[in-house]
Amino acid sequence: MATSLLAFITAFAVVFLVELPDKTMVATLVLTTRYRALPVFVGVVAAFAVQSVVAAAFGSALTLLPDRVVAAVVAVLFGVGAFMLLKEGFSQDGDSADEAGTRAVVPFWRATLTSFGVLFAAEWGDASQLATAGITARYGEPLAVGLGAWLALVAVAGLAVLVGRKLAGRLPTHWIQRVAGVLFAVFAVVALTQVF
């Protein structure tokens, strides 16, 4: 029980920190400026649920391998995540969301499916997906990790939908990405120490 709770808290904290400055938050924000909030939120939450299941399943498959191999794979996953976050955090291109356009009047299901598709595609190979797989492999608790990761993603999506541009405009995104990247690098080093 203690391991499950620790896995849940770790997954929630890491994924929340990683996703806060991520492009998926910006995508949710942009979708919310174009469609009504509820169908966007429903589509985004559904996409995150599928992606969390995929990542936790991948991490579970890793637990079938010998401990040293798992530690090596976890180190690589966190290393790749650290690289992606630090690269984005130190990039000079200053990506920003498009200006809010006018809201399109579309049926609920269409806005939901559009939001699902955009976020489902954006999450493949994302740092949070790598983190979810790595944490699942580390703790061997796919349900707790998947649930923690999914709830973190839902929380970030909720922030994007509810707070919108005010939140995005006040957060120093590049610094959050840098801190998350360093945290991932530390996790990678800790996992590497278990290999040798």
Report how far residue 113's alpha carbon sits from residue 185's, in angstroms, rounded to the nearest whole number.
35
Please tell me the total number of residues recorded for the chain in this structure: 196
Residue 62 lies in a domain: yes
Q: Record the tokens describing residue 145, joined without a space.
A: 């990790």
Report if residue 99 sits inside a domain.
Answer: no
**Residue 49 pLDDT class (50, 70, 90 cuts):** very high
pLDDT tens track for 135-193 = 988 888 999 999 999 999 999 888 888 765 454 455 555 765 677 678 778 878 887 88
Phi, psi dihedral angles at 114 (to 5 degrees): -65, -45
Instruction: Count structural domains, the chain.
Output: 1
* pLDDT score of 164: 52
* For range 119-128, the mean pLDDT: 75
- Cα gap 161→108, rounded to integer Å: 16
Higher pLDDT, 11 or 176: 11
Query: Which segments of 103-169 are extended strands (E)?
Result: none
Return the pLDDT at 96.
Answer: 47
Domain span including residue 190: 1-15+24-93+107-195
Residue with tokens 């029980």: 1
